[in-house]
Amino acid sequence: MKPNDRILLLRSTLERYNHAYYVLAQPLVSDAEFDHLLHELQDLEAQHPEFFDANSPTQRVGSDLSNEFVSAAHRYPMLSLGNVYSAEELQAFDERVCKQFDGTVEYVCELKFDGVSISLIYERGQLQQALTRGDGIRGDDVTVNVRTIRTIPLALQGNVPSPLEMRGEIILPHSSFQKMNEERIANGEPAFANPRNAAAGTLKLLDSQQVAKRRLDNFAYHLLCEEMPFATHYESLQAAQAFGFKVSEHTRLCANIAEVIDFIKHWDAARKSLPYDTDGVVVKVNNYAQQRALGYTAKTPRWAVAYKFAAEQASTTLLAVSYQVGRTGAITPVANLEPVQLAGTTVKRASLHNADQIQLLDVRVGDKVFVEKGGEIIPKIVGVDISLRPAHSEPLRYITHCPECGAALVRSNDEAKHYCPNEENCPPQIVGKIIHFISRKAMNIDGLGEETAELFYQKGLVKTVADLYSISKEALLQLERIAEKSAENILQSIAKSKTMTFERVLFALGIRYVGETTAKTIARAFLSLDALQNASIEELQAVDEVGEQIAKSVYDFMHNPKNVLLLFQLREAGLQMECSANVLINNVLQGKTFVITGTLSQPREAFKARIEQCGGKVSSTISSATNYLLAGEKAGSKLAKAKQLGVAVIDEAQLAAMIGEQSITTDKQLF
């Protein structure tokens, strides 16, 4: 590959990684992998100055600016830290620092929290503004959301310099992360991959009440003011704690680099017992006068570095590459590996993500590859040992046609993945849609699973989900593993699915980008299939939480001739194509959040449905944003917490009075 082509590929890839990390809060690669590519680009640009570009990723700091928030300038630039990965690199850093001063240099070691950087500005001790890191020069104003974080003081204590700026890291503790993901899964929403993604996504929510519910945390780590009243960084951290900031108890003052290395060795193992994620240690020169003498590069301070803990990695051989076709037609290349032990499990397969990643790595069959797990659930290939590459190896060519149906693949300009467009005739897409349709959160057809759905398709019984409603008992009995009783149960469950609400039907259709919550929102906005089919893209976009991408996807689905026929067949089969009159009876509970606990006269689902029918919301966790706790007998810890937070506690009779009924009743069609 020519140097200019490689430079352009690296620039576009690193920009995509920057966007995913800072804007979408969805990191695609490890920090080590990113730094490796960035260093390669820096070297190439140094060797070929004729290809200089002021907009290269080497010339600027990544950005997390979004269009949803007003941006503002940082009073002091919010720069990145240089990364090191070994004791040798730390010692080299120490040598560069110490050669400028007589005697030893003290360092402060702080755990590097895996979260979102924040700048907190105080005037006369009062919080005035909170800015994200942004591009280092300007950040997004998230003050309203930050005020909901209890570990960030709104007013400082004592003799505080003014103005004062405190840098910190907003994180989501493991306990809060687990509860939040449990709620998202229960609501049919995708779980966050890790606490950092969840913290970043939460901080950019437009509803600060939702932010408050998620229990973000914050550690303060760097104090700034016009006339610094402290001689050292360690003194300023102690003062910050006295002012009311939460400062990590694990911060340590080290007399030399040997103590720094001991600190890092300890926390490389001990970090696993912490209640939050940390991915390294920040090492700073303690003395402010020495910091000023050392100064800055264009992007980083010369008086600090971040030591990054190594992600778990292993080396093995790439045996082959296969391609999976998802329900939406997305193609995912999968590396088939010689089995290797990694993070306590045997790894045989790893993700290659997309064609760009394959080209960037220049990975080939037969290569010795490095596989990394780290915080990822699915292992991924992060590098290739070129020195061990077999002779006469050939570059890997990405497929041009679907491996299942042979259709020519397509790729839009704004997508990293290739897609098979043949959704009506591509077997994995058809079977995937059937599996989604019968799933518990969709039509909830008992007795049918993935294997049975695939068997139905293979035997020609089901080509679209509408065919489920014309299956006969005789046809079922001819299939392997299905006896008479099983056949009767399947038919009864299929018949029962006809009573599922329009909301569930809409979700079951598997429209791209429409999850369970979005389906419910759209169904309640339009109330019927007829209204939805007649809606314009603009009318769809007017619905709360429905953006341009979702609106276009729904519109295209509703106007595809084959889908029009499918919807007609489902309507003829007896499925619910409009909201029941009692899906949303009134809005008397609009804007109110409830938590339900204890033993009640009916299942909690019945009360949850009734609250939602009257415009309210039901959460599984109680917080200061909760309006009411509906408590039955044996309410337990949630009752105590409600009293502690001042949340109103009501019983069944009081809830009935609020919604104007004598008792709570349930519509079985909802479940």
Q: Give the separation between CA 428 and CA 433, rounded to whole angstroms.
A: 8
Q: Is 34 exposed, middle or buried (0-12, 13-18, 19+ CB in 10 A)?
A: buried
Q: Identify the bridge partners of residue 595 per DSSP, sorted by sequence position.
A: 619, 629
Map residue 107 onto helix, strand or coil: strand
Displacement of CA 453 from its chain's centroid (Å): 30
Q: Give the separation between CA 262 and CA 270, rounded to whole angstroms.
A: 12
Contact 485, 493 (CB under 8 A): no
At residue 344's C-alpha, the angle toward residues 342 and 347, to 5°, is 40
Q: Give the separation between CA 31 and CA 306, rounded to whole angstroms.
A: 11
668: annotated active-site residue? no
Map residue 224 onto helix, strand or coil: strand
Contact 165, 257 (CB under 8 A): no
DSSP letter string, 380-421: EEEEE-GGGPPTT--PPPPPSB-TTT-PBPB--TT-SS-B--
DSSP letter string, 36-67: HHHHHHHHHHHH-GGG--TTSGGGS------T
Closest CA to 495 of 400, 573, 590: 573
Token pair 């609106």 in the structure block, residue = 551
Contact 97, 106 (CB under 8 A): no
Token pair 């704004």 in the structure block, residue = 414
Helix 195-203 with 174-186: angle, nearest 10 deg: 80
| Count of alpha carbons within 13 angstroms of residue 59, beta-carbon side | 8
Map residue 89 onto helix, strand or coil: helix
Q: One of 2, 99, 112, 562 is an active-site residue; which one?
A: 112
Which active-site residues does the annotation give?
Answer: 112
